[in-house]
Structure 1
Amino acid sequence: MIGRVATAALAILLLTGPDAMAETQPAYEILSFDALDGWDDDDHDAALKVFLNTCGDMDDPDWRAICNAARDAKSGKTFFELFFRPVRITDGADPLFTGYFEPELDGARRPDARYRYPLYRMPPEARRGTWLTRREIMSGTALQGRGLEIAWVDDPVELFFLQVQGSGRVHLPDGSYIRVGYAGANGHPYRSIGQELVRRGVFKAHQVSAQVIKNWVRRNPAAGLELLYHNPSYVFFREVNQVPSELGPLGAMNRSITTKRSIAVDPAFTPLGAPVWIEKAGRDPMHRLMIAQDTGSAIKGAQRADIFMGTGDQAGREAGRIKDGGRMVVLMPIQRAYALLPENIQ
């Protein structure tokens, strides 16, 4: 997932670290389209357009044939119903939807009194294995004067969280943008600062979120800096110039993802590029056809999805509110769908 982590899922990572869940043998159930709550009311043409963004990169012959048919489709709803069957995949874990977004920081190409915190390209020596820690990089001079700065931003706390997510945009004073993506890290293990605050007794586990941590660091500058140093991992960036600023960031398929139509999934269960029907519960229910175009460190399980909510602060607030149950159903090519079933019930 372009090295990034979900917003609500970010809270999971902030508390637990990136360890993956153990794999469980999945179960498969083929459903009818009539069984999908709200199917007839969705904008299937919008979903078809997003599907076309990445289906050409799917290698298997059945997906390639379907992608060719998609290019000539006159009706998205007819296309999906003709070529797919809905498959509910379960692994014993409860369904969980979270949201993520593309952070947007204020910055400049050159430093000044406001823009003092650099985003660095990866130095050659960091590619050779474990290198300097976060503390050594931030408090030392190893990267200074080498022309490795992509930009300078005005908020070290937002920069830390940009590193956790791994990608974002920098809004420049002239109104233009720099989009940055994950280029690598210094080789040190990720350590959770949320978990550290819980260990110290500052917060209970259920209280920790990205915004709570940001506020605490800002209220306690000296102790906050030490808290950031608790995570020795340090992320370097690259400019992503091939993506226009009006489009979404690159997902795991190296194509722009689309607000409220792209999701991150666990590719152990859901093929990247596949259409996925979601029925998200909660305060703001969402029943719509999405396309699985991204992955993430905290996105593990057959009924686990992360909804891309867009770019900037408002998208971040919307994403941060999502931590809901529901149901997700993968649309599979017909023969592939039936091949998933045990032989005695096909």
Structure 2
Amino acid sequence: MISISKLISRKKTPRILACSVFVLAIAGLLTACSTPSTRGSGYRSSGNISSPYSSPIASFQSVSWQDLPGWQGDDLTQAWPAWLKSCDALRKRNSEINWRQVCAQASSISGRDGRAIRQYFEGNFQVYEVRNSATGKDSGLITGYYEPVMNGSQTRTATYTVPLYGLPKAWKGSKPNPAPARAELMSSGVLKGSEIAWVQDPVAAAFMQIQGSGKIRLEDGRVLRLGYAGTNDQPFKSFAQWLLDRKEINRSQATMQGISAWAKRNPGQVEEMLNANPRFVFFKELPGNVSADLGPNGALGVPLTAERSIAIDLKAMPLGAPVFLSTTRPLSSQTLQKLVMAQDTGKAIVGGVRADYYWGSGDAAGELAGRMKQDGKMWLLLPR
């Protein structure tokens, strides 16, 4: 899953490593869109109810359901499968929050009955507006990520010449400390024999490394899912920042799409750009029959749902919780107001009001994720 927050280095968890999508690169290099106010004069706050959850970086103010902009317009049948996945994990966890009771009630509700789903949430959950404790602001950065999907092969061919590597066999049990940076790794020969797949585009392969996971469509129709296996423990350096420093691109081009376009125009400099990031990510083949449509597992341990899962700062709110998100679509003033589930996390996701929005798998999702860097608001839903 890739995020712009750093074009981006993600977490070291087997999640989709949220590098949320590049936001690809650069948190802070694109102009954020502001969220338009959609509250009408009839909206009102509820009396203050103390949140059963405390956070060192976020504060929570109880509000009414009428305070959620776009709540009535959201098709909750689309969010329901993601909530049931959260329940699958939350039932197994010991928590001061009474997830088990609300999840037990969810099992009796039809996923096709939008009215019943709305009544379920409104009857069993209290809404809390989330604010950043340090600033008191009720808005923050919303980026996007996705799961790369590429054509490839498990053997080198005339078309597929770019390897994706597992952990070097020589490192099993004794990884060097410090481990070599990317340039030295690629020239040392230590990676030989650790190839697990071959793809066509070196830049797309690098983006998959930043993302930390992805799918490879093989020529026989099978789908190979690759998960995060580790790194060389070197610091992450942004491709976008490297290009900006050399005035190769401007800030409006500091996106996954802009970097890819630069690489196509400058094939002779691609390796130098890739070596500017000393970090190297290794993959492992994940077992099981993989559907091209099935999302990768997030930090919660359940498959992510396109446009209904987010990555959050674990210091801000509980993993698995329902969250109402109000922001805008990438490079647009069109509102994006949805019930989502906090099912993932990532190193680049820092702050009380901060989310990485999972767009799904493949190129179309990547286009949206790579351009998303919006202002947004969040409301945490907790059992009454």
Do they superpose with TM above 0.5? yes
Among 115, 130, 133, the residue aligned to 2:181: 133
- Equivalents in 2 of 1:64, 1:157: separation in Å? 44
Q: Give the number of equivalent residue pairs.
A: 326
Do the aligned partners of residues 165 and 122 (structure 1) sit closer, same or farther apart at CA in structure 2, a change above 3 Å counting? same
2:208 counterpart residue number = 162
Q: For 1:134, give the aligned amino acid.
A: R
Equivalent residues of 2:163, 2:197 under 8 A apart: yes
Instruction: Tell me the CA shift for residue 166 of structure 1.
Output: 0.7
CA–CA separation in structure 1 for the residues paired with 2:353 and 2:105: 28
Is residue 289 of structure 1 aligned with residue 339 of structure 2? yes
Structure 1 spans left out of the alignment, 5+ residues: 16-22, 335-346
Residue aligning to 1:272: 319
CA distance in structure 1 between the aligned counterparts of 2:248 and 2:341, rounded to whole angstroms: 39
Specify whether residues 14 and 118 from structure 1 end up closer, same or farther in structure 2 by C-alpha distance, changes over 3 A only: farther
Once the 2 structures are TM-superposed, how far is the Cα of residue 4 of structure 1 from its aligned partner? Answer: 3.1
TM-score by length of 2: 0.79
Q: Does residue 1:106 correspond to 2:151, yes or no?
A: yes
Deviation at 1:90, TM superposition (A): 0.6
> Aligned-residue CA RMSD in angstroms?
2.3
What amino acid is aligned across from residue 40 of structure 1 in structure 2? Q
Corresponding letter in the other structure for 1:318: L
Aligned to 1:177: 223
Normalised TM-score (structure 1): 0.87
How far apart are residue 14 of structure 1 and its match? 10
SS in 1 for 2:262: helix
Distance 1:42 1:243, change over 3 A: farther
Higher helix share: 1
In 2, the alpha carbon distance for the partners of 1:241 and 1:29 equals: 43
Structure 2 CA distance, aligned partners of 1:242 and 1:296? 25
Candidates 112, 127, 131, aligned match of 1:90:
131
SS of alignment partner, residue 39 of structure 1: coil
Aligned-residue sequence identity (percent) comes to 38
| C-alpha contact 1:277 1:287 (8 A) present in aligned 2 | yes
Do the aligned partners of 1:45 and 1:77 also contact (CA within 8 Å) in 2? no
SS at match of 1:80: helix
Paired position in structure 1 for 2:16: 2
> CA shift at 1:24, angstroms?
6.8
Structure 2 residue identity aligned to 1:278: L
| CA distances 1:167-189 after superposition (whole Å, capped 9, x unpaired) | 11111112221111110011211
Q: How many Å separate the matches in 2 of 1:122 and 1:48?
A: 38
Of residues 52, 67, 71, the one that matches 1:35 is 67
- Write out aligned runs for 1:1-346 (5 A): 1-12=15-26, 25-58=57-90, 59=93, 60=95, 62-74=98-110, 75-91=116-132, 92=135, 94-124=139-169, 125=171, 128=175, 129-144=177-192, 146=193, 148-242=194-288, 244-245=290-291, 246-281=293-328, 282-334=332-384
Q: Structure 2: state its 5+ residue gaps.
A: 1-14, 30-54, 111-115
CA contact (8 A) 2:324 2:339 kept: yes
Q: Which runs of 4+ in 1 moved over 4 A?
A: none
CA contact (8 A) 2:57 2:315 kept: no
Q: Which residue does 1:338 correspond to in 2?
A: none
**Amino acid of the residue matched to residue 155 of structure 2?**
R
